[in-house]
Amino acid sequence: MFGIGMPELIVILVIALIVIGPQKLPDIARSLGKGLAEFKRASDDFQRNLAEEVRTLDEKEKAEKGEAAAEPVKRDLAAEVKAYEDQAASGVHQGEPAPVAGSPESEKKSA
């Protein structure tokens, strides 16, 4: 406890008893205890809020990294959609599936 041993604590209590007096010492000790309890509560609340803010910032950072990692996938997907739209506009009839490379239908059309 703050580097204070039992002998030092006894000396402090004896001095407090002499200076303050036996009638007021319990009231002062009670007030000091309440003050320390309130300080501990405020300290715990501060630590809890700080930990929550750090967790929130970490989640935002992870979400931003996830969006940055997803950007190339989005571009590739958009390019594929564009290619299919171009293919559809260039002559493949709707309802007729596009030939798959390496399939017999694609070999017939290329021949």
Q: Is residue 105, in this structure, part of any structural domain at all?
A: no
Q: What is the pTM of this model?
A: 0.45
Q: Is residue 40, in this structure, part of any structural domain at all?
A: yes
Write out pLDDT tens, residues 15-34: 888 888 888 888 988 998 99
Q: Is residue 108, in this structure, part of any structural domain at all?
A: no
C-alpha closest to that of 84 among 72, 103, 98, 70: 98
- Write out the residue range of the structural domain in which residue 17 sits: 8-84
Q: Is residue 93, in this structure, part of any structural domain at all?
A: no
Q: Is residue 96, in this structure, part of any structural domain at all?
A: no
The CA radius of gyration of the chain, in Å to the nearest whole number, is 38
Write out pLDDT tens, residues 36-64: 999 999 999 999 999 999 999 999 888 88
Over residues 1-25, the mean pLDDT reads: 84
The single residue listed with the structure tokens 């010492």 is 25
Q: Is residue 101, in this structure, part of any structural domain at all?
A: no
Count of domains forming the chain: 1
Write out pLDDT tens, residues 48-104: 999 999 999 999 888 888 777 778 888 888 888 888 888 888 865 555 555 566 656
3-state SS record for the chain: CCCCCHHHHHHHHHHHHHHHCCCCHHHHHHHHHHHHHHHHHHHHHHHHHHHHHHHHHHHHHHHHHHHHHHHHHHHHHHHHHHHHHHHHHCCCCCCCCCCCCCCHHHHHHHC
